[in-house]
Amino acid sequence: MIINSPVGRLPFEATSVRIRGGRLRLEGAMGTWPTSVEVPLAELPAVVGRLLPRSTSAVAAMATAAVLAVGYRRRRRGGAATVVR
């Protein structure tokens, strides 16, 4: 992945994705700096909707709702849901 910023184009290497505390957290490194991106779960439908054509927005909303439900159930059972590591 490449991060475009005012200081230049920097490589970003993702190391893990987790759902914790009501947020999707992508951890990794931007160049030599450890970094993370956090997205509140409530914002995921809007993010997914922007990635897909309008005709698939309803399907995207349903898929996002299913992912959120699984993450919520795992959090209620006492553990963080690790999606990718």
pLDDT at position 57 is 59
pLDDT tens-place string over residues 29-49: 987 889 998 989 888 878 877
CA-closest candidate to residue 39, choices 49, 50, 26: 26
Domain total for the chain? 1
CA-closest candidate to residue 85, choices 13, 12, 15, 1: 15
**Domain residues for 17?**
2-77
| Residues facing 34 on adjacent strands | 29
pLDDT tens-place string over residues 9-24: 889 999 999 988 888 8
Q: Are 35 and 62 in contact (CB under 8 A)?
A: no
Tokens of 55: 């005709």
Q: What is the pTM of this model?
A: 0.56
pLDDT: which is higher, 58 or 22: 22
Within a domain: 72: yes
Within a domain: 85: no
Judged by DSSP in three states, 10 sits in strand
